[in-house]
Amino acid sequence: MRRIFFLSVIVLSGTFSLAQNRLGNLNTFFNNIAREENMNGNIFLAENGRPVYVRSFGYADFPSATQNDINVRYNLASISKIFTSTAILQLKEKGMLRLEDTFQHYFPAFPYSGITIRHLLTHTSGLPDLELYEPLVKQFPDTIITNEIIIPTLVKEGKALYFQPGDKFSYCNVNYCLLAMLVEKLSGLSYSAYLQQYIFGPARMLLTYCVKTSYQQSQRGIATPNVWAAYYDTTYTPVFQVQRYRYTSYNNSAPAGASNIITNTSDLQRFDRAFFDGKLLSAASIAEALTPVRLNSGEIYWDHMDTMLGEGKGSYGLGWEIFEQPGYGRSVGHGGFQFGLATFYFRNIDRKQTIIAFDNVAGPAFGNVITSAFYIMNHQPPLQLKIKSSLVRLFARTMVGYGVDEARNCLTLLKSDTAKYYLSEQEMNQLGYELLYFSSFPDHLQFAIATFKINMQLFPESYNTYDSYAEALAQAGKKQEAILMYQKSIALNPDNQGGIKALKQLLSQL
């Protein structure tokens, strides 16, 4: 289905020729983005608190062909952490907590005595993330993780911290779920009610709210996250319908504090104005929130920038990502990601420029689009858009449509065209498993075997390609061939415990 694109553009008064030139450059850039279908969502650019450019692309929901427009709301995903941080700092200003207080002080059953509120805010706690719940979900597959079971699960699993609190930065959603619990305990309100009363209301975010779970079928007015269900698919599928994403889209769909705030671009810009106008926090708290974290070693944590491309470095404050870009100064904001969904909020402090972008297919050009928009806003040329196509995806579609031989010929012909295509061992391996375990059409097993074999031939030094090929052969009852492939895999990697176990099982059946 061909996507239809709608345009809504607002240009501000000011130096007319300069604004007109910038608007023209933005139009040229985004016309190309629309033509190449490199974005599916909404983008909102503002300066000095007023809109500069607003545009929508593609579909909010593919099955119903519902178009994206400026009124469509999105799950903010991890941008939600900014709101949790703001709530914690509001409680601090009221004298209800100190950032150096331990979390255990408020929740005595919490099993780690050295973790402070500041550690949670800065992702320096050392706590496990979503892997914490894997044993529980394996035992009870229909479980939806809620904040109430985090502490009991931490106690039951007895996991050691990954590092001493404050030693390292390690992004962890559990941190912000615990902070949401603290907001509720100290305020006496539900997390949702607190945000409504003290943040959404004062910021006049009238269309914004929290949801208990992001697991949903298509809902009117809310963008549906979409994915390719398999490499050979030609249409997008709502992520909630894809079994291999169930652990994140269903089991971990209720992380209050870390995600699940629903809003649109206009309401998020109202938050941007309210926050930086000092309507939610004092100037001192804002400054503290936007200060890069300092580790126990005394060093400030710096790493690559999230989502933004080009020169620069990134850090983290109290719920805010921090960007240092040569020539542009300091910016702050936050990115968000779920399978089938990418979100981004960016505020350049000195230039008072804001970028809000949502994409409900999480396309590979997302970071390029945002960075280019920022450059154009500042009268600089956009980045070169060099999005390579997946040769594995083309191989998969050709194989399912025309057979293995045609797909092999296509791959052989195009794999040298590295300017246009990329070839990934990992993607090829994933395709094989999609065909082996998640497909039901008549030839899926033969296609899986062929895929794993070709991957082995393409990457003969990788033990994993032999291991996967052996697994498919064993599924097809070809035990002797499977044994030979496992033996080659183990020869390349003697520590391949999974392969050793599978080989012993096969040998015992002879």
The strand pairing partners of 354, in sequence order, are 46, 347
Q: Report d(CA 429, CA 452) in Å as an integer.
A: 7
Q: Which residues of 420-436 are buried (b: 16+ CB within 10 A; e: fewer)?
A: ebebeeebbbbbbbbbb
CB atoms within 10 A of CB 153: 16
Classify 432 as helix, strand or coil: helix
| DSSP letter string, 276-332 | HTTSSS-HHHHHHHTSPPB-TTSPBP-BPPSS--SS-EEEE-SS-EEEEETTTEEEE
* Chain centroid offset of residue 199 CA: 24
Tell me phi and psi for residue 60, to 5 degrees: -75, -30
Task: Give residue 354's pLDDT.
Answer: 97
Q: What are phi and psi of 241, to 5 degrees?
A: -95, 0
Residue recorded with tokens 């050793």: 500
Given a cut of 50, whether residue 9 has pLDDT beyond it is no
> Bridge partners of 55?
7, 43
**What are 293-319's pLDDT values in tens digits?**
999 999 999 999 999 999 999 999 999
Q: Which helix (H) or strand (E) holds 130?
A: none
> What pLDDT score was predicted for residue 2?
41
Confirm if 289 and 319 have CB atoms less than 8 A apart.
yes
Q: Position 234: which residue type?
A: T
How sure is the predictor about 208, in pLDDT bands with cuts at 50, 70 and 90? Answer: very high
Provide the pLDDT for residue 7.
Answer: 44
427: which 2 tokens?
């993607």
Looking at residue 230, its pLDDT comes to 83
Cα–Cα distance measured from residue 250 to residue 213, given in angstroms and rounded to the nearest whole number: 8
CA dist 409 and 402 (Å) reads: 11
Query: Measuring CA to CA, which residue among 252, 17, 290 is closest to residue 134?
Result: 252
H-helix or E-strand spanning residue 249: none
| Confidence (pLDDT) at 215 | 81
Which domains are seen in the chain, by residue range?
Answer: 77-219+222-377 (3.40.710.10), 389-508 (1.25.40.10)
**Alpha carbons 365 and 38: distance in angstroms, whole number:** 6
- Give residue for tokens 């050691």: 160
- Find where tokens 């944590």 sit: 301
The rounded mean pLDDT for the chain is 92
pLDDT tens per residue, range 106-160: 999 999 999 999 999 999 999 999 999 999 999 999 999 999 999 999 999 998 9
pLDDT of amino acid 11: 43
CB 340 within 8 A of CB 216: no
pLDDT at position 15:
53
Q: Say how far apart CA 435 and CA 280 lie, in whole Å.
A: 52
